[in-house]
Amino acid sequence: MAILTHNEEKNIERCLRSVIWAGEILVIDDCSGDQTAALVSRFSRENRHCHLLTRKLNGDFAAQRNFALSKTAGDWILFLDADEEVTPELAAEIQQTLAGTPCVGYFIKRSDSFRQRMLRHGETGRVKLLRLGRKEAGFWRRKVHEFWDIKGKTGELKTPLMHYPHPTVRDFLDSVNYYSGIDAGELAKEGKSFRYWRVVINPLGKFLQNYLLKRGLLDGEAGLVMAWLMSFQSLVVRVKMYEQNL
């Protein structure tokens, strides 16, 4: 079990309590300036299988997760962010699956909460992440929106992972400002150069995809707001690509 943290004092205890059943809990903290490290340390004193390591993220989430891979002792590892929670039902499914698995990795659905409402539609309502896998099966790639490049057969768990990001719109915008600059740099490295028309087409397409094609409208007001926020995120990435090309 590996959990990445940075200034997560509002979330970390919930996350840790949800995985107390794990044989090993490794928290990789990105030099938090709040009480995150203190809360983890207190938890680890009561639960000896929990360990805290401090490592500067330096804008590279894949490197942070690969560092966790190098430090864990078990054959299997589940990656979490501090604003996620493993329900008892998901914990039971993970334990049952690993008791007789033919796969080297598993995708897990994720249910997002926005303004105290679970989003069941739109882009965020359909997220599946490869988060559970054999330690030696592969490595994480890409600095942001990173993915676990696992070699071998993968499966999918039925029970979702709970996600409580961005309790306010301000938190979402702060996140967009941070991630978008890294993402713009990664897109450039992938050969996706800036195009003026994408400043209009990509954000508009993102909104239509989330609100209409993926039925975000069925989530009511929260679905409408989230569709616009995802569209804004796409716009900021393209504008930062432009800025980096000046």
Residue 57, token pair as written in the block: 């993220």
DSSP string for residues in 158-216: SSPEEE---SSHHHHHHHHHHHHHHHHHHHHHTT----TTHHHHHHHHHHHIIIIIT-G
- The structural domains of the chain, ordered by start, are 2-163 (3.90.550.10), 169-244 (no CATH)
Pairing of strands 105-114, 128-134: antiparallel
Q: pLDDT truncated to tens, each residue of the chain (246 aa)? A: 999 999 999 999 999 999 999 999 999 999 999 999 999 999 999 999 999 999 999 999 999 999 999 999 989 999 999 999 999 999 999 999 998 878 999 999 999 988 778 899 988 888 999 999 999 999 999 999 999 999 999 999 999 999 998 878 888 888 898 889 899 989 988 888 888 888 999 999 999 999 999 999 999 998 999 999 999 999 999 999 988 876
Q: If you search the block for the tokens 């992938």, which residue do you land on?
A: 190
pTM of the model: 0.88
Alpha-carbon gap, residue 52 to 49, rounded angstroms: 10
